[in-house]
Amino acid sequence: MDGDARINPYLTGNFAPVRTEDDFELEVVGEIPAGLRGALYRNGPNPQFEPRDPNHHWFSGDGMIHGFFVGDGKVSYRNRWVRTEKWNLEHAEGRSLFGTFGNPMTTDPEYIGRDTGGAANTNIVWHGGKLLALEEAHAPFAIDPDSLEPVGSVDLGGKVTAHPKFDPDTGEMVFFGYADAMMPLSPMVSYGVADKDGRLTRRETFEAPYSSMVHDFMVTRNHVLFPILPLTGSLERAMGGKPPFAWEPEKPALVGVMRRDEDTTKIRWFSTDACYVFHVMNAWEDGSKVVADVMKYDVAPLFPLADGRRGRQCGAYLVRWTFDLADASDTIREERLDDLAGEFPRYDERFTFEQNRHGWFAGQTTKPGDIRTNTVSHIDLKTGRRGDYIAPVGDGVGEPVFVHRSDDAPEGDGWVLAVAYRAAEDRSELLVFEAQDIAAGPVAVAKVPRRVPYGFHGNWVDGR
């Protein structure tokens, strides 16, 4: 690594990429539950080569899928890069070609403006019989669910961001794309729907009040909600050598609410104090109200101010936002639900569109605002009680993924899976918990003989 790379926090410690693709049978300590059979797929950034940009951002590394295949009490592991066109071009050249977020100022001049399928590095979902790797700014990329080898880009009419929602009534995938135009960092946002077989049935575009990084959104049975929060994008700023994305709290914090059976000209904008939300737990309707539980930051983390100065870091906390569609006020009502800083909220997705009682998230007990979360936490939203598994000092635990025990099991009855990093041994583990007894610790641990870098999102697919 050169001098810049050595001091970049996203290229050191367990953020640093691994350079090998491996297949391991894992040592299991404890007992894998007999009913747990399938695969946990997890996606995250893993640069193939040293980045061109001295200000390389964690969010821009090449996607790498880590697959944990579980059955008959055993666990095997496989990791592969997502071989998008970008990955293939750079692999052939033997070097990085593109700047962070495609920034033309740090992209090889020969490749400026070339759409290469992106990094596919943020989430991985199963829909329409395909395993899809997703990121912010490009089409989904399908991979083989067993070998993790590339299948290819999937055309859904343009960008599909990393957090689609799945309608349990229809099987539809509801999604959006931001900066959705030929011009990067534009205020254009699109809304789309793919049917249960993965066929595009709707796509329309509207102009948001300004260009914002819209990482996640909310969907209920009858409504869709678009957060336009002041983590702003600016091509002009980027071309002037300043950050492509930056925190501008003087801009309004807005959430647009639209009925799913109407078009984007009918969006109603609600407002709140300056804040940022990366992730939503769940959303539902309560009479004339739409309610959403989200992890809210008072200041957008991981990004600088518009002039390039470092921003203030803070933790995210689970809050409940209420939008009263029958009220003349367009102010979002807010209630904090818990006092532990955290990220990556999840729930039993069989209860999508319903008010869920049980939720899980990765918490941070020692340094609120540190993205290296160190707990798996279960919260009972009916009683307010929370149970935590706290990792040893220096270790990290990623997003918890819920797996139901059976199709007809009560809400929250099942297991939670999470990938942990063990700093003292510089390796990782797959942890398996009883979902409602997280504080008791894992019932089984599958040991990976090397580390799995910190990543983003994963999902469970039954029966693989």
Is the separation of the CB atoms in 320 and 297 below 8 Å? no
Q: How many angstroms separate the CA atoms of 176 and 258, rounded? A: 13
Per-residue tokens: 100: 């962070």
Q: Is 215 annotated as a binding residue?
A: yes
Per-residue tokens: 240: 């002037």
Q: How many angstroms separate the CA atoms of 29 and 443, rounded? A: 9
| Collapsed DSSP state (helix, strand, coil) of residue 429 | strand
Q: Is 223 annotated as a binding residue?
A: no
Q: Is 279 annotated as a binding residue?
A: yes
Per-residue tokens: 412: 């929250």
Planar angle of CA 215, 359, 336, nearest 5 degrees: 75
Q: Is 457 annotated as a binding residue?
A: yes
Q: What one-character-per-residue DSSP string does 8-48 give?
A: -GGGSGGGSPP----EEEPEEEE---TT--EEEEEEEE--S
CB atoms closer than 10 angstroms to residue 8: 20
Which of 260, 248, 152, 269 lies closest to 204 in space, CA to CA? 260
Q: Which residues participate in the annotated binding site?
A: 163, 215, 279, 457
Q: Which residues participate in the annotated binding site for Fe cation?
A: 163, 215, 279, 457
